[in-house]
Every structure is written in C-alpha cells, then in structure tokens.
Chain A
C-alpha cells in the first residue's frame, strides 16, 4: 500500500516568531532551517526537544526555535545539556555552539562530552571567527588571517575539531556546509538518531567579518571516502582533510553514558539507617 504519509509537524512548527539578530546572509539562518527541517522529519514534538547554547551569534539560536531552550553562559552549553539529558533522558537534547564558544572557552567540555558519550547532538556553527565580538580570531582561524587583535595573523595552527572529536571518543562525527540545507538536514537527522554523543561541525560563513567565506559554497566538496565505523579508517581520512570536505565521517558503536538510576524512588529509611546507633538494651 502506498498511502501518503502524513507527518505530524512541519519545519515551521519548530520556529518561533522571533526575528533573528543575524546579519543578512549569515550562514546561521541556514543552520536554523536545517535543524527545524530535521526535527519535523523526525516528528519529535517541539515540547520534547531542548536546544541548549552558550554565547555568540550562533548561540542565539534557541530562542528562534519553538522548542524548550537555554541560552546560558559562554562556553558551558555542553555541561548544561549533559545535566539536562542525564536528568531527563526522555528529551531530545540539541546543543548549538560556535567555534569560539565550543572550542576555545568551552574546549575542555568538548573533550569530556566526547569521552562521556551522553546521548546529545552537538552542532557547532564554525565560521572561523568570533562574530559576536566583531571579528577576532578563533581556534579554527587560519594562522595568517589579519585582524585588529592579531595584526598579520596569529601564526597559530588551527584546531581541528573532527580530529579532537574522534580522538576523544565521540560516537558520531560529521561535517556539513550550512548552504547545503539538504545534506545538513540529512546529517542532523542521523546525528540525532545515533545513540551517544554526536558531533556535527557545520561550516557557516560569517559574511560580515569573513566576507571571504562567501566563497565556501564553491570550495566545499564531498569527502572522497565514505563514512565508516572504523576509527582507524576515519583517522586516515582526516589526515588528508583540507578542512572543506563534507559528509558523515564516523558512526561508532560505543555504549552511551548511562547514569545508575534505580527504580527505587523512596528508600530514605534504608539510607538513614546507616547513621543510627541503636541504644544499649536495658537488660
């Protein structure tokens, strides 16, 4: 039978009526579209999704969705999301960040979120610049990118998010380009469905402080190697990565984090008995 499938939700059901503060042409608009399309495709009700972020242009995204959201402090979105997901495993928890938020101030949490492997979907909108603070180099910025804060460039080699994610134990690793909404949507769906910690770097141009990134639509290309569940194979692909190839890199089988939550709800008496010293018998 081929009855037309009716989906309970449309992408628009996941959008709030708030107008984004983003500059016209900012890649983050596309990420917002991909996320809402992915959620509609999955059919999870908006109230059962939480979108957690830190600080930055990219991190403004939660309020533009019609899901539950938390716009926290700079760099700590993964920690906040971890607490939420452990406490509320029934929710779909998305974490949305920028390259400064996620890799600089929040870098340590990135390592440990990969390692802990809580069932979260972590999307970093990488524009290789600090947009919100108006154009400083981030950990993924090229060494010779000139800016007021680092004239002539930082001279530092960029941080490689996919390498770090793979090495630290992320269970799903991918890169997409914001302008390719179709593939971004598809990968976000896969990332949400995959158990454990899923990491998707989305190259998302900052048209204001990195106008050169408008060229990205021409320079991104599909990776020449298919996705794999073999970390060694994934590592080999990354070694030849020019930073612009897109697609799912790795889909692993590590067991997701499970908190030791028991069914017993109110065993206070047993808990307290360890402190009691029964009085000496009167006999």
Chain B
C-alpha cells in the first residue's frame, strides 16, 4: 500500500442495503481483505427485527492497530439502496466531514443525512453492475469502499476467490470486474480515507468472532463434550462447536432446555470429559440450581454466558453486562465458584480456555461472562499464541486403598476424583451435604469442613497474573471489566495522544475477587473511574462490597443497547481533570 500524508489510524465504514442486497457479504469481504493487507479491524452486523429479509447494515472499523470497540461515528456510508435507511440512521452517525456514496436510482438521500452537510457522491451502482456479466451491486459497493480506502485489489481478489471459487470461475471473474468498476468510479475529488500501514506486521491475521473464539478456547482447553439449548446471542458458539467437537473426537448434544443442558455437562464431566455449555441470561437463570449442584458435588464444568439486555427476555440482540450479579451471587447457599470475563474478542479464546483449566484444576463450576458485543463481533486479531495450561484434573488412579474418600480434606482443598470405570473408586456424587467419603450427612462438622474445603480450594489457587490486565501508570485509573475494556483502552489511547495518561485496571477474574492484587494495582491512585454497561451499577456495587476503594471514585454506567464509547469516556476524564 502506498500511503499519503493524510492517512489516518482508523476509518469507519457503513454499508447498508435492503435484505438481499448483499451489504453484509460486501462488509465481510472488505474486512477480510483488510486483514490480508495486515490491517486490523472489526465488523458488526445490524439487521432489522424481522427474522429474514428486511434491511441490513455492515458496520466496519478498520485500524492500523488492534481494535476492540465499535466506531461512535462513521467516515464513509455506502448505501446500496435507501430502503429503511432511517432505521439505521441513529446507529451510524456520520462524522461532519463524512462521505456518503449512494445510488441516485434508489431515491432521495434521507433528510436526516442530507441535512448534516456531509459530502454526497452519487454512483449508479445498479447500472454499473448490469454492465458486468453476472455483476452484483454489492460488489460495486465493495470496489467503491476499497477505492476510497486505497486497498490493493489483490487483497480483495484473494478473499473473493477464496469465498466464491466453489460457485465457479465466472462468478469470481464477475466479482473482479465489479470491484474494478467500483474502484474506477472513485474520482480524485472524493475524500481519501487511506489508512496508515499496520503498526505491527504479523504472521497473518485471524478473522474470528468472540463466539467462535470462546468455542475454540473450550476445545483448546480440552473440552470434548458440550450440551446446550439455542439462544441469542450465544447460538454461534454451539454452531461452531458442534462440527468442531466431532472433528476432535467429542460430541455436542442439543438439549431440550437449559435445565437439561447443564445437567448433561455435569454428567459428562462426572464421566471424565471436560465439558462446556453456552447460553445467555434467561438460560443461565434456569441453570443456576444445577451450578450449585456442580459446586457441591465438585464437578468441573464451564458455562459461557453471552450476556444480552435484561431482565427477562430483554433485548436479545444487544449487549449489556447485567448478568454479573446472577453469575456471582445466583446460587443458593454458599457456593463459591469461578467467574471469568474476557476483555476482548481475542481474549474470548484465552479466557474460555483459562476457565476450562480453572474448572478442571479446582473441580468447580466456572462461568465465563462474555456478551453480545464480543460474541457477535467479527474481528481481525493477531494469530493467537498457543497457551498450554499445565494443571489437569486431579484423578484417583485406583488400586490399593482401604476406603476411597472422594471428598477427602486435603492441603489445597482439591481431592482426587475417581472416574467411573476405575476399580475401587466407586462413590456417589451428591448435592446433599456429605462426609469426606461422600455419604449424606447433616453433621455440623461435615457441613463446616466441606464448606471450608470448597472455599479454600478457590481462594488459595494461584491465578498468576491473569486476574486482570493492568496497563499504564497514572494516578488516574479506569477500573472496568469484560467487554468494556475495549472502549476503555481506546479512550486511554486517545487521551495519551492529548498528553493525558490514564491507567487501566480491567478485571478478567471476577470471582474470586483478588483483593490484594487489586489494591496493589491501585497503590498511589488518586482518582478511579469505574466503568460498566449496566443500569444499576452492579460492578461498582461488587467492588464496594469486596474492598474499600482507596481513592476518589466516579462511576460511569449505562444499560444497553447503546454501548459506552471511547469518546464518552474521554469526556468523563477530561471533565474530571478540569473540574
């Protein structure tokens, strides 16, 4: 890529069209082609409420550095047609110097856009497509976007051939001709939206969604069994896992409901196979009783909750962080367990793999709190490193023992687990309070011992430095968790360009709360901005319950569906500094 002086670090592009116009396909190819050129970026799809058809928009952000949050405003809007564009107008505000490319054949530019004063360029996409044998207007749109952004046609064609070659050489040829026709339309007058070359050249990028990454993390972590009931926005995890597990010797069962899926994975894990389920808030609510069972009977399981707006059915297709309370506090009785939250799309892989490792090592349920904004975002990431976690499940090998005590009190609180089939290891796993042997007991000492044991095994585990991402150094700190980390990082990057330094403490391990590490990370802090995507401030309350926050605190929070963006965070910090 040749780069001019005016190239920027980040370009955001929206491609809209009615259902079937191919806006989403054009967006996917554009994103992958950027990856091919070594860039980073992400894409979110916005679709209408109708199950099929209707309008669709591909919202892209292309960057020269890794990126994990969406754009708050757009540089380029390509409208294949204007049908229903009003619905999207609020979701994709244009920058004042933004550029709109649209087809004059498909009607007037909507008022909401025309009156913003952005530059509008008309291109007859439909006519141009007709001139190409087998041509489609979304491929013209793709060419237009590539032209404006200065992307090399080779990158685009590599992706087009890979995606379309099974449809025949003539389709690939038509694609090339359309893209070339689109690029040729980009006049030298149009505003150039070139991107700076990538900060770091890698071995190549991965294009992955958070849901796929979570699935892959589970398989890398050794999961070989999954059971689940479909639910938005978690279903893609299951759809990815099903073939992936059968390719790696495992199996996925579609359960009749979440009461079933959680118990299926408890059964499979009791049988010795690392197991996972994925769901969203309503499903997690149904699973809670049995998550308590897994805690009491010490069966390792992993539950990935891809959070959406709640309560109740809420907003299934939009993100929120409001399952924090149920994940941490949902179980009846005292049932300590692990709650982990990925801090980015790439981290969905690491965090889920880590959760499998933690669950297996401590024979405990682990909940992974992902959310829609991570799960369904398509993101270009660096090819992830292979992380090998060492601790495996502590297994009872069988052989010469007088009596095998499944729930024996041990130094670290973890007792060797007999896997069915092992001679001499027969025991009954039980949700009833039990003795060390596993037999039901209502004795004061057994109850106390087993509660202590289950608390200690989780409290005393060595979580290493994975408990949080702590970045930068300043007496002004953003404390956040999960998906909000992306916007926080972006805000900190912007502020640092303005000469304002802000430290980031982003919690990956939510429960158990790493109080000592947390307070150490906050040493010397004067001001803390707590950031989260909930209505009631669940995270803030959680922090307050766990420790005395050692500084002046402000709290910025909002429910979904409108994601908190970097610019808003910057405003919070700037206002505070100038106050």
- B partners with A: yes
Residues of A within 8 A of B (CB): 18, 45-48, 50-52, 60, 62-63, 66-73, 75-76, 78-88, 90-91, 108-109, 111-112, 259-268, 270-272, 275-280
Among candidates A83, A264, A270, A275, residue contacting B206 with C-beta atoms closer than 8 Å: A275
Closest residue to B1 on the A side, CB-wise? Answer: A280
Closest residue to A73 on the B side, CB-wise? Answer: B293
Q: Given A73-B289, A83-B263, 16 more contacts at CB 8 Å?
A: A71-B432, A73-B290, A75-B259, A79-B255, A80-B266, A82-B227, A86-B253, A86-B268, A108-B259, A262-B246, A262-B248, A268-B220, A268-B248, A275-B207, A279-B204, A280-B37
Closest residue to A109 on the B side, CB-wise? Answer: B260
- Flag if B271 contacts A271 (CB, 8 Å): no
Given contacts A266-B248, A277-B206, contact A63 B35 (CB under 8 A): no
- 8 tightest A-B CB contacts, nearest first: A83-B267, A83-B264, A69-B428, A87-B268, A259-B251, A79-B263, A84-B267, A80-B267
CB neighbors of A among B415-431 (8 A): 418, 420-431
Given contacts A62-B428, A71-B428, contact A76 B263 (CB under 8 A): yes
- Flag if B439 contacts A18 (CB, 8 Å): yes
The interface bits of chain B over 414-458 (1 if a CB of A lies within 8 angstroms of the residue's CB, else 0) are: 000010111111111111100000111000000000000000000
Interface size class on chain B is 35 or more
- Flag if B421 contacts A90 (CB, 8 Å): yes
- Flag if B272 contacts A79 (CB, 8 Å): no
Closest residue to A71 on the B side, CB-wise? Answer: B430
Q: Residues of B contacting A51 with CB < 8 Å?
A: 428
**Min CB–CB distance B352 → chain A (angstroms):** 14
Residues of B within 8 A of A (CB): 32, 35-38, 152, 154-155, 158-159, 201-208, 212, 216, 219-220, 224-225, 227, 244, 246-251, 253, 255-257, 259-273, 275, 289-290, 293, 297, 380, 383, 418, 420-432, 438-440
CA gap between A112 and B440 in the complex, in Å: 30
- Flag if A270 contacts B247 (CB, 8 Å): yes
Q: Residues of B contacting A73 with CB < 8 Å?
A: 263, 289-290, 293, 431
Closest residue to A272 on the B side, CB-wise? Answer: B216
Q: Residues of A contacting B36 with CB < 8 Å?
A: 277-280
Give chain B's interface secondary structure class. mixed
- Flag if A47 contacts B249 (CB, 8 Å): no
- Flag if A76 contacts B260 (CB, 8 Å): yes
- Flag if A276 contacts B248 (CB, 8 Å): no
CA gap between A279 and B158 in the complex, in Å: 10
CA gap between A264 and B249 in the complex, in Å: 6
- Flag if B225 contacts A87 (CB, 8 Å): yes
**Residue from B205, B227, B270, B290 whose CB has the most chain A CB atoms within 10 Å:** B270
- Flag if A277 contacts B267 (CB, 8 Å): no
- Flag if B421 contacts A47 (CB, 8 Å): yes
Q: Residues of A contacting B432 with CB < 8 Å?
A: 71
13 A-B contacts (beta carbon < 8 Å): A46-B426, A48-B421, A68-B421, A69-B427, A70-B267, A70-B297, A76-B259, A83-B275, A88-B273, A112-B260, A266-B249, A271-B244, A277-B32
Q: Residues of A contacting B273 with CB < 8 Å?
A: 87-88
Given contacts A83-B227, A261-B251, contact A108 B256 (CB under 8 A): yes
- Flag if B383 contacts A276 (CB, 8 Å): yes
CA gap between A68 and B272 in the complex, in Å: 13
Q: Residues of A contacting B271 with CB < 8 Å?
A: 50, 83-84, 87-88, 91
Q: Residues of B contacting A278 with CB < 8 Å?
A: 36, 204
CA gap between A86 and B255 in the complex, in Å: 12
- Flag if B289 contacts A79 (CB, 8 Å): no
- Flag if A67 contacts B426 (CB, 8 Å): yes
- Flag if A112 contacts B216 (CB, 8 Å): no
- Flag if B253 contacts A83 (CB, 8 Å): yes
Q: Residues of A contacting B158 with CB < 8 Å?
A: 280
- Flag if A70 contacts B212 (CB, 8 Å): no
Closest residue to A84 on the B side, CB-wise? Answer: B267
Q: Residues of A contacting B418 with CB < 8 Å?
A: 68
Q: Residues of B contacting A63 with CB < 8 Å?
A: 428, 430, 438-440
Closest residue to B213 on the A side, CB-wise? Answer: A275
Given contacts A71-B428, A79-B263, contact A276 B206 (CB under 8 A): yes
CA gap between A60 and B434 in the complex, in Å: 13
**Residue from B251, B261, B432 whose CB has the most chain A CB atoms within 10 Å:** B251
CA gap between A62 and B420 in the complex, in Å: 13
